[in-house]
Structure 1
Amino acid sequence: MGRSPCCEKAHTNKGAWTKEEDDRLIAHIRVHGEGCWRSLPKAAGLLRCGKSCRLRWINYLRPDLKRGNFTEEEDELIIKLHSLLGNKWSLIAGRLPGRTDNEIKNYWNTHIRRKLLSRGVDPSTHRPINEQHSLADITISFVKEEEKIVGFEEEKREKEERCPDLNLDLCISPPYQQENTESVQRGTSLFFPTDFLGLKTGMLDYRSMEMK
Protein backbone atom coordinates (compact mmCIF):
# COMPACT_ATOMS: atom_id res chain seq x y z
CA MET A 1 0.00 0.00 0.00
CA GLY A 2 1.23 3.48 -0.85
CA ARG A 3 1.41 6.41 1.49
CA SER A 4 -1.96 7.96 2.25
CA PRO A 5 -2.51 11.55 1.12
CA CYS A 6 -1.90 14.28 3.67
CA CYS A 7 -5.50 15.46 3.43
CA GLU A 8 -8.67 15.12 1.42
CA LYS A 9 -7.81 16.83 -1.86
CA ALA A 10 -11.26 16.51 -3.39
CA HIS A 11 -12.51 19.64 -1.62
CA THR A 12 -9.36 21.77 -1.57
CA ASN A 13 -8.56 24.94 -3.45
CA LYS A 14 -5.88 24.84 -6.11
CA GLY A 15 -3.94 27.52 -7.90
CA ALA A 16 -2.62 30.84 -6.62
CA TRP A 17 -3.04 31.80 -3.00
CA THR A 18 -5.18 34.81 -2.17
CA LYS A 19 -4.21 37.53 0.32
CA GLU A 20 -6.99 36.37 2.65
CA GLU A 21 -5.57 32.82 2.69
CA ASP A 22 -2.09 34.15 3.36
CA ASP A 23 -3.34 36.23 6.28
CA ARG A 24 -5.17 33.26 7.80
CA LEU A 25 -2.12 31.04 7.55
CA ILE A 26 0.18 33.70 9.05
CA ALA A 27 -2.23 34.42 11.91
CA HIS A 28 -2.62 30.73 12.78
CA ILE A 29 1.09 30.00 12.82
CA ARG A 30 1.84 33.11 14.91
CA VAL A 31 -0.55 31.84 17.61
CA HIS A 32 -0.12 28.05 17.43
CA GLY A 33 3.18 27.54 15.64
CA GLU A 34 3.71 25.34 12.64
CA GLY A 35 2.61 22.10 14.34
CA CYS A 36 1.29 19.25 12.20
CA TRP A 37 0.84 20.29 8.61
CA ARG A 38 -1.75 17.55 8.05
CA SER A 39 -4.21 19.04 10.55
CA LEU A 40 -3.20 22.70 10.16
CA PRO A 41 -5.46 23.61 7.18
CA LYS A 42 -8.64 22.59 8.95
CA ALA A 43 -7.59 24.31 12.17
CA ALA A 44 -6.75 27.50 10.28
CA GLY A 45 -10.01 27.41 8.29
CA LEU A 46 -8.27 26.88 4.96
CA LEU A 47 -9.45 24.70 2.11
CA ARG A 48 -5.89 23.84 1.22
CA CYS A 49 -3.71 20.73 1.29
CA GLY A 50 -1.28 20.45 4.17
CA LYS A 51 1.65 20.24 1.77
CA SER A 52 0.49 23.39 0.01
CA CYS A 53 0.33 25.24 3.35
CA ARG A 54 3.83 24.11 4.29
CA LEU A 55 5.39 25.18 0.98
CA ARG A 56 3.53 28.51 1.04
CA TRP A 57 4.83 29.27 4.51
CA ILE A 58 8.41 28.11 4.02
CA ASN A 59 8.96 29.63 0.59
CA TYR A 60 6.93 32.85 0.78
CA LEU A 61 5.42 33.81 4.15
CA ARG A 62 7.84 33.09 6.98
CA PRO A 63 9.23 36.32 8.38
CA ASP A 64 12.96 35.45 8.19
CA LEU A 65 12.94 35.07 4.39
CA LYS A 66 15.38 37.22 2.48
CA ARG A 67 14.01 39.19 -0.41
CA GLY A 68 15.90 40.39 -3.42
CA ASN A 69 18.96 39.22 -5.32
CA PHE A 70 21.71 37.02 -3.96
CA THR A 71 24.84 38.79 -2.84
CA GLU A 72 28.35 38.00 -4.06
CA GLU A 73 29.15 36.48 -0.66
CA GLU A 74 26.12 34.19 -0.94
CA ASP A 75 27.23 33.12 -4.43
CA GLU A 76 30.67 32.10 -3.22
CA LEU A 77 29.21 30.29 -0.21
CA ILE A 78 26.81 28.33 -2.43
CA ILE A 79 29.69 27.35 -4.73
CA LYS A 80 31.79 26.18 -1.78
CA LEU A 81 28.92 24.23 -0.21
CA HIS A 82 27.99 22.64 -3.53
CA SER A 83 31.57 21.40 -4.00
CA LEU A 84 31.26 19.65 -0.61
CA LEU A 85 27.60 18.54 -0.56
CA GLY A 86 26.61 18.27 -4.21
CA ASN A 87 22.93 18.77 -5.05
CA LYS A 88 21.73 18.50 -1.44
CA TRP A 89 19.85 21.78 -1.59
CA SER A 90 18.13 21.48 1.79
CA LEU A 91 21.50 21.13 3.54
CA ILE A 92 22.89 24.07 1.60
CA ALA A 93 19.83 26.17 2.47
CA GLY A 94 20.34 25.37 6.14
CA ARG A 95 23.64 27.29 5.97
CA LEU A 96 22.15 30.30 4.21
CA PRO A 97 19.68 31.93 6.63
CA GLY A 98 16.63 33.32 4.89
CA ARG A 99 17.06 31.31 1.69
CA THR A 100 15.01 28.26 0.70
CA ASP A 101 16.25 25.09 -0.90
CA ASN A 102 14.03 25.57 -3.96
CA GLU A 103 15.22 29.16 -4.35
CA ILE A 104 18.89 28.12 -4.17
CA LYS A 105 18.39 25.27 -6.65
CA ASN A 106 16.75 27.58 -9.19
CA TYR A 107 19.45 30.20 -8.68
CA TRP A 108 22.17 27.58 -9.20
CA ASN A 109 20.71 26.37 -12.49
CA THR A 110 20.04 29.84 -13.90
CA HIS A 111 23.04 31.87 -12.69
CA ILE A 112 25.84 30.09 -10.84
CA ARG A 113 26.37 27.35 -13.44
CA ARG A 114 26.96 30.00 -16.09
CA LYS A 115 29.31 31.87 -13.79
CA LEU A 116 31.46 28.78 -13.23
CA LEU A 117 31.55 27.94 -16.93
CA SER A 118 32.69 31.48 -17.71
CA ARG A 119 35.58 30.90 -15.26
CA GLY A 120 36.53 27.68 -17.06
CA VAL A 121 35.30 25.49 -14.17
CA ASP A 122 33.11 22.41 -14.53
CA PRO A 123 29.97 22.97 -12.35
CA SER A 124 29.68 19.25 -11.61
CA THR A 125 33.26 18.51 -10.51
CA HIS A 126 34.44 22.04 -9.64
CA ARG A 127 37.69 21.35 -11.52
CA PRO A 128 39.22 23.33 -14.39
CA ILE A 129 37.82 22.16 -17.71
CA ASN A 130 41.28 22.29 -19.40
CA GLU A 131 42.72 20.04 -16.70
CA GLN A 132 40.04 17.42 -17.36
CA HIS A 133 40.83 17.48 -21.08
CA SER A 134 44.53 16.91 -20.39
CA LEU A 135 43.74 13.97 -18.08
CA ALA A 136 41.61 12.44 -20.84
CA ASP A 137 44.53 12.71 -23.28
CA ILE A 138 46.85 10.98 -20.81
CA THR A 139 44.37 8.15 -20.40
CA ILE A 140 44.25 7.63 -24.17
CA SER A 141 48.05 7.49 -24.34
CA PHE A 142 48.06 4.80 -21.64
CA VAL A 143 45.66 2.72 -23.72
CA LYS A 144 47.93 3.03 -26.76
CA GLU A 145 50.99 1.92 -24.77
CA GLU A 146 49.07 -1.06 -23.44
CA GLU A 147 48.10 -2.05 -26.98
CA LYS A 148 51.78 -1.92 -28.00
CA ILE A 149 52.76 -4.23 -25.14
CA VAL A 150 50.02 -6.71 -26.01
CA GLY A 151 51.12 -6.70 -29.67
CA PHE A 152 54.74 -7.33 -28.69
CA GLU A 153 53.75 -10.29 -26.50
CA GLU A 154 51.70 -11.82 -29.32
CA GLU A 155 54.58 -11.41 -31.80
CA LYS A 156 56.99 -13.00 -29.33
CA ARG A 157 54.63 -15.95 -28.81
CA GLU A 158 54.35 -16.51 -32.57
CA LYS A 159 58.14 -16.58 -32.95
CA GLU A 160 58.43 -19.15 -30.15
CA GLU A 161 55.85 -21.35 -31.85
CA ARG A 162 57.73 -21.20 -35.19
CA CYS A 163 61.14 -21.83 -33.57
CA PRO A 164 60.77 -24.36 -30.76
CA ASP A 165 63.62 -24.75 -28.27
CA LEU A 166 66.30 -27.25 -29.31
CA ASN A 167 68.00 -29.61 -26.89
CA LEU A 168 71.68 -28.87 -27.41
CA ASP A 169 72.98 -31.22 -24.69
CA LEU A 170 75.66 -33.30 -26.44
CA CYS A 171 76.88 -36.73 -25.44
CA ILE A 172 80.42 -37.63 -26.53
CA SER A 173 81.35 -41.31 -26.76
CA PRO A 174 84.08 -43.31 -28.56
CA PRO A 175 83.33 -44.22 -32.14
CA TYR A 176 81.47 -47.46 -32.54
CA GLN A 177 83.51 -50.17 -34.22
CA GLN A 178 81.96 -53.48 -35.02
CA GLU A 179 85.21 -55.40 -35.33
CA ASN A 180 86.51 -54.22 -31.96
CA THR A 181 83.33 -55.48 -30.32
CA GLU A 182 83.80 -58.84 -31.97
CA SER A 183 87.41 -58.93 -30.80
CA VAL A 184 86.32 -58.44 -27.21
CA GLN A 185 83.80 -61.22 -27.54
CA ARG A 186 86.60 -63.52 -28.83
CA GLY A 187 88.84 -62.61 -25.93
CA THR A 188 91.39 -60.85 -28.12
CA SER A 189 93.13 -57.57 -27.63
CA LEU A 190 91.24 -54.23 -27.89
CA PHE A 191 93.28 -51.16 -28.69
CA PHE A 192 92.34 -47.52 -28.63
CA PRO A 193 94.28 -44.85 -30.54
CA THR A 194 97.06 -43.24 -28.55
CA ASP A 195 95.60 -39.76 -29.06
CA PHE A 196 91.91 -40.47 -28.35
CA LEU A 197 90.12 -37.23 -27.41
CA GLY A 198 93.48 -35.47 -27.13
CA LEU A 199 94.68 -37.76 -24.32
CA LYS A 200 97.99 -39.58 -24.57
CA THR A 201 96.69 -42.88 -23.35
CA GLY A 202 99.15 -45.26 -25.02
CA MET A 203 98.21 -48.69 -26.09
CA LEU A 204 95.89 -50.54 -23.77
CA ASP A 205 96.12 -54.31 -23.86
CA TYR A 206 93.02 -56.18 -22.81
CA ARG A 207 94.29 -59.67 -23.64
CA SER A 208 94.23 -60.69 -20.06
CA MET A 209 90.60 -59.57 -19.58
CA GLU A 210 88.11 -62.36 -19.10
CA MET A 211 84.57 -62.09 -20.26
CA LYS A 212 82.20 -62.51 -17.36
Structure 2
Amino acid sequence: MGRSPCCEKAHTNKGAWTKEEDDRLISYIRAHGEGCWRSLPKAAGLLRCGKSCRLRWINYLRPDLKRGNFTEEEDELIIKLHSLLGNKWSLIAGRLPGRTDNEIKNYWNTHIRRKLLNRGIDPATHRPINEAPQDATTISFAASAAKEEKPSIGIFGGSKDAKSQAQERCPDLNLELRISPPDQPLESGGRSSCFACSLGLQNSKDCSCRIASINGE
Protein backbone atom coordinates (compact mmCIF):
# COMPACT_ATOMS: atom_id res chain seq x y z
CA MET A 1 0.00 0.00 0.00
CA GLY A 2 1.18 3.49 -0.79
CA ARG A 3 1.35 6.31 1.67
CA SER A 4 -2.00 7.96 2.32
CA PRO A 5 -2.36 11.57 1.14
CA CYS A 6 -1.68 14.23 3.74
CA CYS A 7 -5.00 15.95 3.07
CA GLU A 8 -8.20 15.77 1.09
CA LYS A 9 -7.48 17.42 -2.24
CA ALA A 10 -11.13 18.33 -2.78
CA HIS A 11 -11.29 20.48 0.35
CA THR A 12 -8.04 22.43 0.11
CA ASN A 13 -7.24 25.81 -1.35
CA LYS A 14 -4.82 26.07 -4.23
CA GLY A 15 -2.98 28.94 -5.82
CA ALA A 16 -1.40 32.00 -4.24
CA TRP A 17 -1.41 32.40 -0.47
CA THR A 18 -3.30 35.33 0.98
CA LYS A 19 -1.94 37.60 3.71
CA GLU A 20 -4.53 36.19 6.13
CA GLU A 21 -3.29 32.64 5.50
CA ASP A 22 0.32 33.74 5.99
CA ASP A 23 -0.54 35.41 9.29
CA ARG A 24 -2.36 32.29 10.56
CA LEU A 25 0.57 30.06 9.66
CA ILE A 26 3.11 32.41 11.25
CA SER A 27 1.04 32.79 14.44
CA TYR A 28 0.54 29.05 14.84
CA ILE A 29 4.20 28.15 14.34
CA ARG A 30 5.35 30.90 16.72
CA ALA A 31 3.02 29.54 19.37
CA HIS A 32 3.38 25.78 18.85
CA GLY A 33 6.40 25.24 16.63
CA GLU A 34 6.43 23.45 13.31
CA GLY A 35 5.33 20.06 14.63
CA CYS A 36 3.73 17.58 12.22
CA TRP A 37 2.98 19.14 8.85
CA ARG A 38 0.20 16.63 8.16
CA SER A 39 -1.86 17.80 11.13
CA LEU A 40 -0.74 21.46 11.17
CA PRO A 41 -3.21 22.84 8.57
CA LYS A 42 -6.26 21.66 10.51
CA ALA A 43 -4.84 22.83 13.84
CA ALA A 44 -4.00 26.25 12.38
CA GLY A 45 -7.41 26.62 10.74
CA LEU A 46 -6.02 26.52 7.19
CA LEU A 47 -7.63 24.84 4.21
CA ARG A 48 -4.22 24.00 2.80
CA CYS A 49 -2.21 20.86 2.17
CA GLY A 50 0.46 20.05 4.73
CA LYS A 51 3.13 20.07 2.04
CA SER A 52 1.97 23.50 0.86
CA CYS A 53 2.24 24.84 4.43
CA ARG A 54 5.75 23.45 4.83
CA LEU A 55 7.02 24.93 1.56
CA ARG A 56 5.37 28.28 2.30
CA TRP A 57 7.04 28.47 5.68
CA ILE A 58 10.49 27.25 4.62
CA ASN A 59 10.76 29.25 1.41
CA TYR A 60 8.94 32.49 2.28
CA LEU A 61 7.88 33.00 5.91
CA ARG A 62 10.81 31.87 8.05
CA PRO A 63 12.19 34.78 10.03
CA ASP A 64 15.81 33.80 9.33
CA LEU A 65 15.43 33.93 5.55
CA LYS A 66 17.96 36.15 3.81
CA ARG A 67 16.39 38.51 1.31
CA GLY A 68 18.01 40.22 -1.62
CA ASN A 69 20.60 39.27 -4.18
CA PHE A 70 23.36 36.75 -3.63
CA THR A 71 26.72 38.23 -2.74
CA GLU A 72 29.99 37.44 -4.49
CA GLU A 73 31.09 35.44 -1.44
CA GLU A 74 27.92 33.36 -1.63
CA ASP A 75 28.51 32.74 -5.33
CA GLU A 76 32.01 31.40 -4.72
CA LEU A 77 30.81 29.28 -1.80
CA ILE A 78 28.05 27.75 -3.92
CA ILE A 79 30.56 26.97 -6.67
CA LYS A 80 32.93 25.31 -4.21
CA LEU A 81 30.17 23.30 -2.54
CA HIS A 82 28.75 22.21 -5.89
CA SER A 83 32.17 20.91 -6.97
CA LEU A 84 32.17 18.73 -3.82
CA LEU A 85 28.49 17.78 -3.46
CA GLY A 86 27.04 18.05 -6.96
CA ASN A 87 23.31 18.82 -7.24
CA LYS A 88 22.57 18.09 -3.58
CA TRP A 89 20.88 21.44 -3.02
CA SER A 90 19.62 20.66 0.49
CA LEU A 91 23.15 20.00 1.71
CA ILE A 92 24.41 23.14 -0.01
CA ALA A 93 21.61 25.21 1.51
CA GLY A 94 22.54 23.89 4.96
CA ARG A 95 25.88 25.69 4.62
CA LEU A 96 24.36 28.98 3.47
CA PRO A 97 22.31 30.40 6.36
CA GLY A 98 19.12 32.09 5.25
CA ARG A 99 19.07 30.53 1.78
CA THR A 100 16.74 27.74 0.68
CA ASP A 101 17.60 24.75 -1.49
CA ASN A 102 15.05 25.77 -4.12
CA GLU A 103 16.40 29.31 -4.19
CA ILE A 104 19.98 28.11 -4.62
CA LYS A 105 19.00 25.64 -7.35
CA ASN A 106 17.20 28.34 -9.33
CA TYR A 107 20.10 30.75 -8.85
CA TRP A 108 22.55 28.12 -10.06
CA ASN A 109 20.60 27.41 -13.23
CA THR A 110 19.98 31.08 -14.09
CA HIS A 111 23.23 32.78 -13.05
CA ILE A 112 26.13 30.67 -11.83
CA ARG A 113 26.14 28.23 -14.76
CA ARG A 114 26.49 31.12 -17.17
CA LYS A 115 29.20 32.66 -15.00
CA LEU A 116 31.27 29.45 -15.10
CA LEU A 117 30.82 29.07 -18.86
CA ASN A 118 32.09 32.63 -19.34
CA ARG A 119 35.17 31.63 -17.36
CA GLY A 120 35.71 28.65 -19.65
CA ILE A 121 34.79 26.13 -16.94
CA ASP A 122 32.41 23.21 -17.36
CA PRO A 123 29.64 23.59 -14.72
CA ALA A 124 29.25 19.81 -14.42
CA THR A 125 32.91 18.84 -13.93
CA HIS A 126 34.35 22.20 -12.77
CA ARG A 127 37.27 21.69 -15.15
CA PRO A 128 38.42 23.85 -18.06
CA ILE A 129 36.22 23.14 -21.07
CA ASN A 130 39.20 22.65 -23.42
CA GLU A 131 41.01 20.28 -21.05
CA ALA A 132 41.19 16.66 -22.17
CA PRO A 133 39.89 14.09 -19.67
CA GLN A 134 42.60 12.67 -17.41
CA ASP A 135 41.73 9.07 -18.20
CA ALA A 136 41.81 9.63 -21.97
CA THR A 137 44.56 7.68 -23.74
CA THR A 138 45.91 8.92 -27.05
CA ILE A 139 47.24 6.22 -29.33
CA SER A 140 49.05 7.15 -32.52
CA PHE A 141 50.03 4.78 -35.28
CA ALA A 142 52.43 5.25 -38.13
CA ALA A 143 50.71 5.62 -41.44
CA SER A 144 52.49 2.63 -42.87
CA ALA A 145 51.50 0.42 -39.91
CA ALA A 146 47.91 1.63 -39.77
CA LYS A 147 47.31 1.05 -43.47
CA GLU A 148 46.56 -2.58 -44.14
CA GLU A 149 48.11 -3.72 -47.37
CA LYS A 150 46.15 -6.18 -49.46
CA PRO A 151 48.27 -8.88 -51.16
CA SER A 152 48.16 -9.00 -54.91
CA ILE A 153 46.62 -12.21 -56.26
CA GLY A 154 48.22 -14.05 -59.18
CA ILE A 155 46.56 -16.02 -61.89
CA PHE A 156 46.36 -19.21 -59.80
CA GLY A 157 45.11 -17.53 -56.64
CA GLY A 158 48.49 -17.42 -54.90
CA SER A 159 50.13 -14.41 -53.39
CA LYS A 160 52.36 -12.73 -55.93
CA ASP A 161 56.04 -12.82 -55.08
CA ALA A 162 55.19 -14.24 -51.63
CA LYS A 163 58.29 -16.41 -51.65
CA SER A 164 60.59 -13.57 -52.63
CA GLN A 165 59.07 -11.27 -50.02
CA ALA A 166 59.54 -13.91 -47.32
CA GLN A 167 63.17 -14.36 -48.37
CA GLU A 168 63.75 -10.61 -48.20
CA ARG A 169 62.43 -10.51 -44.63
CA CYS A 170 64.15 -13.76 -43.62
CA PRO A 171 67.15 -14.18 -45.97
CA ASP A 172 68.58 -17.17 -43.99
CA LEU A 173 65.36 -19.16 -44.04
CA ASN A 174 65.35 -22.05 -46.47
CA LEU A 175 61.80 -22.60 -47.66
CA GLU A 176 62.66 -25.61 -49.84
CA LEU A 177 62.24 -28.58 -47.50
CA ARG A 178 62.98 -32.21 -48.43
CA ILE A 179 62.29 -35.39 -46.48
CA SER A 180 64.69 -38.28 -46.88
CA PRO A 181 65.65 -41.25 -44.70
CA PRO A 182 68.80 -40.87 -42.64
CA ASP A 183 71.99 -42.34 -43.96
CA GLN A 184 72.59 -45.92 -42.77
CA PRO A 185 75.89 -47.72 -42.50
CA LEU A 186 76.61 -50.53 -44.93
CA GLU A 187 75.64 -53.98 -43.81
CA SER A 188 78.10 -56.76 -43.69
CA GLY A 189 78.71 -57.76 -47.22
CA GLY A 190 78.89 -54.23 -48.56
CA ARG A 191 75.18 -53.81 -49.18
CA SER A 192 73.34 -50.78 -47.82
CA SER A 193 70.06 -51.04 -45.98
CA CYS A 194 66.82 -50.54 -47.85
CA PHE A 195 64.28 -47.80 -47.08
CA ALA A 196 62.10 -50.11 -44.89
CA CYS A 197 65.08 -51.15 -42.78
CA SER A 198 66.14 -47.53 -42.34
CA LEU A 199 62.73 -46.90 -40.80
CA GLY A 200 63.10 -49.84 -38.42
CA LEU A 201 60.78 -52.17 -40.39
CA GLN A 202 63.14 -55.08 -40.88
CA ASN A 203 61.68 -58.33 -42.15
CA SER A 204 58.51 -56.57 -43.34
CA LYS A 205 56.94 -57.37 -46.67
CA ASP A 206 58.33 -54.11 -48.01
CA CYS A 207 61.90 -54.93 -46.97
CA SER A 208 63.97 -55.33 -50.13
CA CYS A 209 66.85 -56.74 -48.11
CA ARG A 210 64.75 -59.77 -47.09
CA ILE A 211 63.50 -60.23 -50.64
CA ALA A 212 67.03 -60.03 -51.98
CA SER A 213 68.27 -62.61 -49.47
CA ILE A 214 65.47 -64.96 -50.42
CA ASN A 215 66.33 -64.61 -54.07
CA GLY A 216 69.96 -65.28 -53.25
CA GLU A 217 71.22 -61.90 -54.17
Map of 1:201 onto structure 2:
none
**Which digits, 9 at most, give the CA deviation of each residue in 1:1-26, with x for residues without a partner?**
22211111210000000000000000
| Mapping for residues 24-63 of structure 1, pairs under 5 Å | 24-63=24-63
Map of 1:23 onto structure 2:
23
Map of 2:108 onto structure 1:
108
Letter in 1 for 2:190: V
- Structure 2: gaps of 5 or more residues: 152-158, 167-172, 192-217
Distance 1:147 1:6, change over 3 A: farther
d(CA) in 2 for partners of 1:17, 1:105: 23
SS at match of 1:184: coil
The Cα of 1:182 is off from its aligned counterpart by 8.7
**Which digits, 9 at most, give the CA deviation of each residue in 1:50-100, with x for residues without a partner?**
000000000000000000000000000000000000000000000000000
Letter in 2 for 1:99: R
TM-score, length-scaled by structure 1: 0.69
Map of 1:5 onto structure 2:
5
d(CA) in 1 for partners of 2:64, 2:183: 112
d(CA) in 2 for partners of 1:107, 1:85: 16
The Cα of 1:184 is off from its aligned counterpart by 2.6
Map of 1:14 onto structure 2:
14
> Once superposed, what is the RMSD of the aligned Cα atoms?
3.8
SS at match of 1:90: helix
1:184 to 180, 186, 190: 190
SS at match of 1:53: helix
Map of 1:91 onto structure 2:
91
The Cα of 1:173 is off from its aligned counterpart by 6.9
SS at match of 2:130: helix
d(CA) in 1 for partners of 2:31, 2:175: 101
d(CA) in 1 for partners of 2:114, 2:106: 13
d(CA) in 1 for partners of 2:6, 2:107: 29
TM-score, length-scaled by structure 2: 0.67
Distance 1:88 1:148, change over 3 A: farther
Runs (4+) of structure 1 exceeding 3 A deviation are 144-152, 162-176, 180-183
d(CA) in 2 for partners of 1:165, 1:127: 61
d(CA) in 2 for partners of 1:181, 1:48: 121
| Mapping for residues 35-184 of structure 1, pairs under 5 Å | 35-132=35-132, 135=133, 139=137, 141-142=138-139, 144-145=140-141, 183-184=189-190
- Structure 1: gaps of 5 or more residues: 186-212
Identity %: 74
Distance 1:149 1:111, change over 3 A: same
d(CA) in 2 for partners of 1:27, 1:147: 80
